[in-house]
Amino acid sequence: MNIRILVVGGSGREHAIVTALLKNAKTELYCIMAKKNPGITKLCRDVLIHPETDVDAVLAFAKQHNVQYAIVGPEASLAAGVSDALANAGIGCVGPLRATARIETDKGFCRNLMQKYAIGGCPTYKLCTTPEEAAEYIRNYFGDLAVKPVGLTGGKGVRVMGEQVDREGAIAYVMTLKDQMILLEERLLGEEFTLMAFVDGKTLVPMPLVQDHKRAFEGDKGPNTGGMGSYTLASKMFPFVTEADFAAALAIMQETVAALVEEGCPYKGILYGQFMNTALGPKVIEFNARFGDPEAMNVLTLLESDFVTIVEHIVAGTLAPTDVSFKSMATVCKYIVPKDYPEHPHAGDPITLGSHENTTLYYANVVEEGGVLKTQTSRTLAFVGIGASLGDAEAAAEAACRGVSGNVRHRGDIGTETLFAKRTAHMKELRG
Ligand code: GLY
């Protein structure tokens, strides 16, 4: 008998989820997404083009197709309570309930939880209820701060003093943040890495480490984006993350899942830890309650064990490390984006693809009209190069990106030896 699974969301991350699930020949897939992703549509039995945050519509579509399982991709759907509705209807859901997803959707909840349970890796922080209170704190703080609205901002709400803004800029920024709590945290210095884990309520099984590139332009310049690309190494580790750093990061995630259980919020889904590896070890920049985008495309391209079994075991609470294995290969994911993304992206521009050998293509915010692919206002599509070495994976992804023509661009530096060496040297310098 087939296993019917609903995927909620229509970006590159969900195209990777659908592709990985379909390696199991018994899978029958359905997807609800705001725009018709051409890659996902080809792989599903049926799709509904509709906002992914409409809880009633998601539930009705799930019931129409009698799905057994659902994977919720976007944070906005988790915040809307999609998992709650599906779970109440008896559908096994990979994606935490709304109250649990606060670990991502409410940064104040996350920090207070870490503090209450004395979980390591929590930066010093101050939660402010008004812009005036935040401005006063910034004015009197000795050193640099990261300024974060507590709610969801699509990865674009953070301003780091000393990087994107000076003290006056930070004050001006908080004054624009009306009617929401503001989180001010000590600025963390080091190298960022992403550790994602499958979580069945108590057991966490980690995935290979990934490094994302948030800034819009080469050399880590320009405004923050949803993520321009990411890479993994064949070792599944990074030279700037020691075994002890990895163990500390995983322990932080395990303690967070245990704390959520204590709070009556058991976690079933994907837990995403974004860490800054500092001179003193890993500190939590933030948690996400879902796969990262683009990071999902790296790790799911490498997944060699059966994703459907992982889904079943997450839902049943029986996940074991032996359920999960990844190929020991390097990957480089590069996003093609509209030329003026993220500030003034233009939608409706035609693009054509060239040859993209040795890569996997994941469609994201792109539509097909009359056989022509057209940009939308967010990230367009991604190529994941895979190879024995980082260099091989990067060369494949870069060649595929260069083959795309249209009013688009990508970051040529992601996964290059030069950038990678810079990151490794930076960590060495920090640790002496
Ligand atoms: N890559 C960052 C995110 O998914 O939020």
Task: Tally Cβ neighbours within 10 Å of residue 372.
Answer: 11
286 DSSP β-pair partners: 274
Phi and psi at residue 337, to the nearest 5°? -130, 160
Task: State residue 140's pLDDT score.
Answer: 96
In sequence order, the β-bridge partners of residue 275 are 193, 284
Q: Binning pLDDT at 50, 70 and 90, where does residue 153 land?
A: confident
Strand 372-375 to strand 350-351: parallel, antiparallel, or no bridges (unpaired)? antiparallel
202 Ramachandran zone, left/alpha/beta (phi>0; psi -120 to 50): alpha
Q: What length is written for the chain? A: 432
pTM of structure: 0.96
d(CA 340, CA 302): 31
Residue 330: CB atoms within 10 A of its CB come to 25
- Which of 14, 213, 293 has the most ligand 1 atoms within 8 A of CB, as the residue to mutate? 293
Peptide bond into 342 cis (omega under 30): yes
Averaged pLDDT, 261-279 = 97
Region 42-53: mean pLDDT is: 98
Give pLDDT tens digits for 348-363.
999 999 999 899 999 9
CA–CA dist 45, 67 (Å, integer) = 12
Q: Is ligand 1 within 6 A of the CB of residue 292?
A: yes
Of 295, 297, 335, 365, the one to substitute when testing ligand 1's pocket (max ligand atoms within 8 A of C-beta) is: 295
Task: Compute the distance between CA of residue 236 and CA of residue 139 in angstroms, rounded to an integer.
Answer: 42
Residues facing residue 373 across a β-bridge: 351, 368
Distance CA 348, CA 207 (A): 36
Quick: pLDDT tens for 272-300. 999 999 999 999 999 999 999 999 999 99
pLDDT at 29: 98
| Structural domains in the chain, sorted by start | 3-97 (3.40.50.20), 124-186 (3.30.1490.20), 191-426 (3.30.470.20)
Would you state the torsion angle of the CA atoms of residues 382, 383, 387, 393, taken in this order, to the nearest 10 degrees?
A: -80
CA 64 from centroid of its chain's CA atoms: 29
Q: Would you call 168 exposed, middle or buried from its count of C-beta atoms within 10 A (0-12, 13-18, 19+)? A: exposed
In angstroms, what is the span from residue 16 Cα to ligand 1's centroid? 14
Q: Is the pLDDT of residue 374 over 90?
A: yes
Name residue 60's amino acid.
A
| 3-class secondary-structure state, position 92 | strand
Report how far ligand 1's centroid is from the alpha carbon of 378 (Å): 14
For ligand 1, the distance from its centroid to the CA atom of residue 64, given in whole angstroms, is: 31
Among protein residues, the one with the nearest Cα to ligand 1's atom 2 is 292
Res 172: pLDDT: 96
Compute the average pLDDT of residues 53-58: 98
Residue 26 CA, ligand 1 centroid: distance in Å: 30
Read off the DSSP letter of residue 323.
Answer: G
Q: Which backbone phi and psi does 226 adopt, to 5 degrees?
A: -70, -10
Q: Is the CB of 286 under 6 A from ligand 1?
A: no
Calculate mean pLDDT across residues 312-334: 98
Atom 3 in ligand 1: residue holding the nearest Cα: 292
Model confidence at 1: pLDDT above 90: no
